[in-house]
């Protein structure tokens, strides 16, 4: 089934540079009469973007609608009894996000649910550090207490203890763990990426993806229009030297809009504009420039703008932010460019803008910091030919020595 697109997690935020997004909830009516039901085909994807189990929003719908719900997690099937309009369920999802996802203090969705010893439910915000409670009068709280969220950090420690005790297959069958930046644990990720790559190479899998199959002018135009309206993510860093307000009125938002309107202004003018806005040295500026400056001819355009990036990319953080902008460029704005990722990386590498170790680390660390996890995996899989080339070049150097 083709993707229904993406929206800001906070749908009240009308900002194309808003960092947090999720797939649009889709519905499918099945059955007739008393057996009619509403299936939620992409509930797992929506819940993953919210960092919540898919059972929680499904059960929330049941509570709000007074309807029975059922889950088949093994087969990824989530159902609300009765026929329910997709628009209505999306509005209810906004209510779930407000009550059980967004931090009450900063309205940021980067929260984990914690159940206290007294069975109170707390939203622990990783963005501002505040811990705010949920309304324990809601019926969903009983379900959450009885079905607590899994703690990825505890799982990770458990895996480590098992491995240290020498038990065979200590990592097998364990859930994925997330790091502070939303990425999975390094060892687990490397294994998963290699396993998936062995089963199916990136190009053949991408060719079968519905969302990237239609490259007709009409489809491309529609996709670009959707991106312009809903494009998320400048990934403003939480901490470091890039603490700043997000939004179209922020310096980053202003720079992105200016580049889109003045793409032919040239490298010097782009740098002057960034300097004028006071963000020429900020690493998140590289994300904005990469995702707004380049077109579908990015490989040919990189040499033209190489001096600009050489001047502005001055640290590992800058390189990572540049890679994040590339993820957004090829993963969201121009998905037909995903097979060209090796050429894009090679162009930046040969211009001495991206360093080998930074690219290798990025290539084996899936993260949802700049795009959703599935898109992040697709982009990294597509980069494998370049990563392989780097490894072979290292081997050749060692042999020469």
Same domain, 394 and 249: yes
User: Which residue, of 149, 172, 197, is where some domain finishes?
Assistant: 149
Report the greatest alpha carbon distance in the chain.
Answer: 76
Same domain, 125 and 222: no
Q: How many domains does the chain have?
A: 2
Same domain, 196 and 72: no
- Mean pLDDT across the chain: 79
Q: What is the CATH number of the domain that holds 59?
A: 3.30.30.170
Query: Is 341 within the bounds of a domain?
Result: yes
Query: Is 335 within the bounds of a domain?
Result: yes
Query: Is 154 within the bounds of a domain?
Result: no
Query: Is 159 within the bounds of a domain?
Result: no
Query: Residue 143 belongs to what domain range?
Result: 6-149
Query: Is 301 within the bounds of a domain?
Result: yes
Over pLDDT 90: what percentage of the chain? 53
Query: Is 296 within the bounds of a domain?
Result: yes
pLDDT tens, residue by residue, 32-69: 888 899 999 999 999 999 999 999 999 999 999 999 99
| Cα 300–Cα 303–Cα 304 angle in degrees, nearest 5 | 90
Same domain, 115 and 191: no
Q: What is the CATH number of the domain that holds 384?
A: 1.25.40.180
pTM over 0.85: no
Query: Is 332 within the bounds of a domain?
Result: yes
299 vs 227, residue with greater confidence: 299
Same domain, 234 and 372: yes
* Residue 239 reports pLDDT greater than 50: no
Same domain, 126 and 253: no
195 vs 320, residue with greater confidence: 320
Query: Is 378 within the bounds of a domain?
Result: yes
């Amino acid at each position: 089934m083709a993707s229904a697109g993406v929206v800001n997690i906070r749908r009240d935020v009308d900002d194309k540079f808003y960092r947090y997004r999720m797939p649009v909830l889709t519905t499918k009516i099945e059955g007739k009469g008393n057996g009619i039901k509403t299936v939620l085909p992409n509930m797992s994807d929506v819940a993953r973007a919210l960092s919540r189990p898919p059972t929680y929003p499904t059960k929330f719908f049941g509570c709000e609608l007074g309807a029975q719900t059922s889950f088949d997690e093994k087969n990824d099937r989530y159902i609300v009894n009765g026929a329910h309009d997709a628009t209505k369920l999306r509005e209810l999802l906004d209510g779930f996000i407000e009550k059980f996802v967004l931090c009450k203090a900063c309205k940021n969705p980067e929260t984990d649910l914690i159940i206290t010893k007294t069975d109170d439910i707390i939203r622990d915000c990783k963005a501002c550090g505040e811990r705010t409670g949920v309304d324990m009068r809601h019926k969903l709280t009983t379900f959450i207490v009885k079905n607590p969220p899994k703690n990825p950090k505890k799982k990770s420690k458990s895996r480590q203890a098992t491995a240290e005790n020498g038990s065979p297959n200590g990592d097998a069958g364990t859930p994925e763990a997330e790091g502070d930046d939303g990425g999975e644990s390094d060892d687990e990720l490397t294994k998963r990426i290699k396993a998936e790559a062995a089963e199916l190479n990136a190009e053949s899998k991408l060719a079968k993806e519905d969302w990237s199959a239609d490259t007709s002018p009409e489809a491309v135009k529609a996709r670009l229009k959707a991106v312009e309206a809903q494009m998320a993510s400048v990934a403003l860093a939480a901490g470091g030297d890039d603490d700043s307000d997000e939004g179209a009125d922020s310096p980053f938002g202003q720079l992105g809009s200016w580049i889109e309107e003045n793409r032919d202004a040239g490298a010097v003018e782009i740098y002057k504009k960034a300097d004028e806005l006071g963000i020429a040295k900020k690493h998140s500026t590289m994300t904005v420039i990469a995702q707004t400056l380049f077109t579908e001819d990015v490989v040919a355009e990189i040499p033209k703008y190489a001096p600009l990036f050489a001047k502005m990319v001055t640290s590992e953080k800058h390189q990572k932010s540049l890679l994040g902008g590339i993820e957004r460029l090829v993963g969201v704005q121009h998905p037909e460019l995903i097979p060209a990722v090796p050429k894009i990386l090679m162009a930046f590498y040969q211009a001495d803008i991206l360093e080998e170790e930074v690219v290798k680390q990025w290539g084996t660390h899936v993260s949802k910091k700049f795009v959703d996890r599935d898109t992040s995996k697709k982009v990294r899989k597509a980069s494998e030919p370049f990563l392989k080339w780097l490894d072979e070049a290292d081997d050749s150097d060692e042999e020469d020595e």
